[in-house]
Amino acid sequence: MSRRPNPPGWTPPKAPYNPYDPDDARPAAGYPSEFKIPGNSPSGFSSLPRNPTQYKKVNETMKRLNYTPRPASQLYPGQYKVLRKVNTSQKVQVGSRWFASLLGGSIIVYFSFFYRWNDGKENVFSDFYRARLQLKERIFGGLSQQEYDDLYHPQQNKVIIKKVRDAEYIPDDMRRNVESDLAMNKPSDRHFLEAERIRQDQEEVMLRELNEHRKYAMEMLGTEDQPQKSKKKWWLF
């Protein structure tokens, strides 16, 4: 099947206005869409069209004309005044900031001083919790049995964190690097034992040399160590 030919004088339709097409001449009075009243069409699926206010009409017209009202400066001729932006929501911002600070502080105080973490066992908040219990006992003069036990008989936390050696869960070929002058492997237990043995050997050699030097010095001076006779003391002082 072939499409029937277009009627004589038919031209392909064009866009309403293409400013980048030199052959598309804009009407002198402009297109109707350029002068559509703002706000006369619904802005959403369920919204109803509303008649624009006078301020909205003027604002829309000034945007199309790319005009910004700026009063002339009285101090600097030929320049304009810099308009100051007025913050109309300052009270709302201050109130929201105070409300957020109060809410956050209340949460911190409650979970630090009033909440019983880890069923009363030792934790990072135990000091704050016991401080509140001491203050409560001084002011009100009494505590419940659970609070009394938490204050004077705290339970120790039985969780013990033990360090795990790298050799137990990391393969040796991945744990060790190729040693060079700039990169060395972490010393293991056998390295520490070997270093301790070498240090002990050096200390033994140093002590032997010290004893030999002491004997040689005594022989040169002729003062051998002689046993001293113990003298009896006939007085207390």
Q: In the chain, what are the domain boundaries?
A: 32-65, 90-152
Query: pTM of the full predicted structure?
Result: 0.38
**Lookup: tokens for 44:** 């959403």
Residue pair 155/121 in contact (Cβ under 8 Å)? The answer is yes
pLDDT at 57: 80
Q: What is the pLDDT of residues 36-45, one digit of tens each?
A: 555 556 666 6
Query: What whole-number distance in Å separates Cα of residue 60 and Cα of residue 177?
Result: 70
pLDDT at 211: 92
Who contacts 154 (Cβ-Cβ below 8 Å, separation ≥6)?
120, 121, 122, 126, 130
pLDDT at 96: 96
pLDDT at 223: 58
